[in-house]
Amino acid sequence: MYSDRLLDHFQNPRHVGDLAPPAVMVEVSNPACGDILRLWAQFENGIATEVRYKVRGCTASIASGSALSEWLTGKSRDQIRSFQPSIIDEALGGLPVESKHAAVLCADGVKKLLAT
């Protein structure tokens, strides 16, 4: 059902936790399934130098948060604007159809992060 990459991110999540201010924190949720993503990013000179996340949700959402935190780290705000849910899908070796909502949750988080 899940790819090896997805299971690796779920079992060994990267960048879990939070960051103190002046890091930016956003929270997004999916009311249909109840998943919640909290995303922190520390920007220096327009670059996401440190990223952390916490997810309350399914296996795919936890793994997606991990993959998102890896992808965001080191990216400029301009690069982050190019984010699409397919980036998470590819990073995790493909999400099952019923789990695509996890990549959309990440996209919602990125959009809200960029709005700060």
pLDDT in tens, 98-110: 999 999 999 999 9
The highest-level CATH class for domain 4-114 is: alpha beta
Instruction: Identify the three-state secondary structure at position 81.
Output: coil
Query: Which DSSP category does 97 fall into?
Result: G
Please report where in the chains the tokens 């939070």 appear, as a residue: 18
Radius of gyration of the chain measured on its C-alpha atoms? 13
Tell me how many degrees the CA angle 42-72-70 measures, rounded to the nearest 5: 110
Residue 12 burial (CB count, 10 A): 10
Question: What pLDDT, on the 0 to 100 scale, is given for residue 32?
Answer: 82
- The b/e string for 94-112 (b: 16+ C-beta within 10 A; e otherwise) is ebeeebbbbbebbbbbbeb
Q: Is the dihedral of CA 84, 75, 115, 30 positive or negative?
A: positive
pLDDT of 1 above 90: no
pLDDT in tens, 42-64: 999 999 999 999 999 999 999 99
For the segment 2-30, the average pLDDT, to the nearest whole number, is: 97
Question: What pLDDT, on the 0 to 100 scale, is given for residue 66?
Answer: 98
pTM of the model: 0.95
Dist. CA 46–CA 103, nearest whole Å: 24
